[in-house]
Amino acid sequence: MLFAAVALSTSTGCLIPMYSGDPVRRAEQLIYTSEDLRAITDEWERIWFLDQPSHMTAYRTHGGIL
For every residue of 13-58, DSSP letters joined together read: S-SS-SS-SSHHHHHHHHHHHHHHHHHHHHHHHHHTTTTSPP-SPP
Mean pLDDT for 52-61 is 70
pLDDT one-digit tens code per residue, 19-45: 888 888 988 888 888 887 778 878 888
Specify the length of the chain in residues.
66
- The amino acid at residue 18 is M
- Tell me: the pLDDT tens digits for 5-19? 776 666 666 667 788
Bridge-based pairing of strands 64-65 and 60-61 is antiparallel
The domain segmentation of the chain, as residue ranges, is 22-66
